[in-house]
A and B are shown apart, each in its own frame.
Chain A
Amino acid sequence: MLYREAGQFKATYAEDSQIFPIRQDRIGFWVLMLVFGVAVPLLTNEYWLKAILIPVLIFSLAAIGLNILTGYAGQLSLGSAAFMAVGAFAAYNFILRIEGMPFLVALVLAGVTAALVGILFGLPSLRIKGFYLAVATLAAQFFIVWALVKFPWFSNNSSSGVVTAQDVTILGYTFSTPEAKYVLTFLIVAFMALLAKNMVRSSTGRAWMAVRDMDVAAQVIGFRLMRTKLLAFAVSSFYCGVAGALYAYTYIGTVEPEGFNLDLSFKILFMIIIGGVGSIMGSFLGAAFIVLLPIFLDNFVPMIFGDALGAGFVSNFQLIVFGGLIIFFLIVEPHGLARLWQIAKEKLRLWPFPH
């Protein structure tokens, strides 16, 4: 009853092509923005901000990056964590080596660096497809992490490759409290998500989807394959790179190359699969799910079984539940949480009258 678009007419092209064509969605969107942008940092405690909200936002950004590449352009990648590593270490070096480098500029430069590396490792996609490409992206994963460890220049000659992120300062204001870091992360992620949403709605996104659905057919009707694929790799790596820089600067603070390992890449892949392949919204849902699940299991399993079972049992049980849930989700809803949300919305539109 509340969610009905009757009487909302679109009189201009601009109105017709907006992201949320239904007024209730727009209201809901702004309410969400206010809740997460203003109310949450005011009301929640440090633990929630540091351990849950900031990582969810950052992983959402990385998931959007991978979703652009895998969900929209159809190129399966197992190396997203490596591009995050490139972003993190690039930001570190830009701020370290260039006097007075503004943080936001460093962030963009980190993204650009990751994008360039992404283009380089995207080149094979012009020749190889499917699982061959997926395995080939593992080359990026292993090579980049290895290079960051082996060449101490990247980590300013720190012996173990560990770097500590500098303070985040914008226009003289230092973002030191979790609240401030959260708001900064939130603004950046919201802005980039909006950008991504518009990108995939535009001709760029349509080109990606055409290539995803069948690249030979797309080529036949005049899409430039090389440009489209490499653009997808560049944009995707840009997003992952910025996410990696944020991961270092607003989340963990101290990063090492080994932290961006294959497990992290898989995690991001799970996020888009569970959230929904080819959906920006799904990236957020998936990231929230994957970040919250281990925390939930950590607290939940000892609650049921008691502490008698020991840490080894709990961690193995978590592995099983985690894997089992992924299989369960794939079987029950292969299109992910975003699809569930869509179904719910369609039901809501008719509710309470079925016709």
Chain B
Amino acid sequence: MQFFIEVLVGGLLSGVMYALVALGFVLIYKASGVFNFAQGAMVFFAALTFVGFQEVLPGWLGLEADSGVVFWLAFLLAFIAMIVLGIATERIVLRPLVNQPHITLFMATIGLTYVVEGIAQMTWGANVRGLDLGIVDEPIAWLMDNYEIGVSKFDLFAAGVAASLVALLALLFQYTKVGRALRAVADDHQAALSIGIPLQTIWRVVWAVAGFVALVAGMIWGARNGVQFALTFTALKALPVLILGGFTSVPGAIVGGLIIGASEKLAEVYVGPFVGGGIEGWFPYMLALAFLLFRPEGLFGEKHIDRV
């Protein structure tokens, strides 16, 4: 039983990390209808930029490498880089493709994936780098002693970050002018345009926010597994989360992430041995697929009604 709970909690917490990546997809899809495959590359780009600045800044400014100033300055610079990337994407890729079919936009973001990966590695090199957030990846002693359940501090920290990020986004969406405009655009492009909401500004904001989410996701994933090219594959982890939760729903991304994370780990432990292991690559997809057969729009997706 303890083992089961341990696996379950571990799964739920890693699900939070999937949800972090899925969140970026949802934001962009909601506001601009673009299925942004480049989100994984953005996560990689953001993490690499952050670590890169962390490496070069002490030399430039003559500061200690582990000082807080360097950390936050690197964070700020990486965020600015993500904003620039977002604006450039809007300007160069999306604007000329307005009104094209969804598949064309999707393909363009696959192209964007290659460009972003190339730029990231060209600027900072392809070495695997460590990223230290100051939180050790070890079980919480109190839970271990009293209940013999190993829950990593780091996972808990990641969950906390994700929760505060979602809360922050919810506040942004609900209580600011930009947030209202964002929701209007997500609801109906035409109507939003006709009451004077600048579509392109909104898109830039959304890409910048998605860039911020990518930065946070990249830092957490990077601290976990090292900042390396494999970070781009986080996108593939996020896709089943997306279709399970629904492309257009922020809560869906979180709930989907939890479901996928938990069931993936449980399946790996309890089903995996019977079929030879290594099933985490496809199991989330199969689960999401089976789920979609009952709810074709995912858990919280908008119901699509066809009219002839």
Chain A interface (Cβ < 8 Å from any Cβ of B): 70, 76, 124, 127-132, 134-136, 138-139, 142-143, 146, 149-151, 214-217, 220, 262, 266, 269-270, 273, 277, 312-313, 316-320, 322-327, 330-331, 334
Contact = CB atoms under 8 A, between A and B. Distances in A.
Given A131-B35, A317-B122, A322-B114, A143 B292 contact: no
What 10 pairs across the A-B complex have the smallest Cβ distances? A323-B114, A326-B111, A319-B118, A139-B285, A320-B118, A142-B282, A323-B115, A216-B306, A143-B282, A327-B111
Given A127-B296, A142-B285, A327-B108, A135 B308 contact: no
B24 interface: no
Contacts of A134: 106
Contacts of A334: 97, 100, 104
Given A129-B296, A136-B243, 10 more contacts: A76-B106, A132-B297, A138-B239, A139-B285, A139-B289, A150-B278, A316-B126, A327-B108, A327-B111, A331-B97
Contact of A143 (B92, B107, B247, B286): B286
A326 B119 CA distance: 16
B150 interface: no
The interface centre, meaning the residue of B102, B121, B243 with most chain A CB atoms within 10 A of its CB, is B243
Given A127-B292, A312-B126, A319 B115 contact: yes
Contact of A316 (B122, B240, B278): B122
B93 A327 contact: yes
Contacts of B104: 273, 330, 334
Contacts of B92: 327
A330 B296 CA distance: 29
Contacts of A326: 107-108, 110-111, 114
A136 B292 contact: yes
Contacts of B278: 146, 149-150
A320 B123 CA distance: 12
A130 B34 CA distance: 12
Contacts of B117: 316, 319, 323
23 contacts: A70-B103, A127-B293, A131-B106, A135-B240, A135-B285, A136-B289, A138-B236, A138-B239, A139-B286, A142-B281, A142-B282, A150-B278, A216-B307, A220-B308, A320-B122, A323-B115, A326-B110, A327-B92, A330-B108, A331-B97, A331-B108, A334-B100, A334-B104
A226 B304 CA distance: 19
Interface of B: 35, 92-93, 96-97, 100, 102-104, 106-108, 110-119, 121-122, 125-126, 236, 239-240, 242-243, 247, 275-276, 278-279, 281-282, 285-286, 288-289, 292-293, 296-298, 304, 306-308
A330 B98 CA distance: 12
A300 to B, nearest CB: 16
B216 to A, nearest CB: 23
A146 B281 contact: yes
A325 B112 CA distance: 10
A151 B108 CA distance: 37
Nearest to B277: A150
B114 A273 contact: no
B266 to A, nearest CB: 18
B121 A124 contact: no
B97 A269 contact: no
Nearest to B306: A216
A124 B107 contact: no
A217 B282 contact: no
Contacts of B293: 124, 127-128
B115 A146 contact: no
Nearest to A123: B293
B113 to A, nearest CB: 7
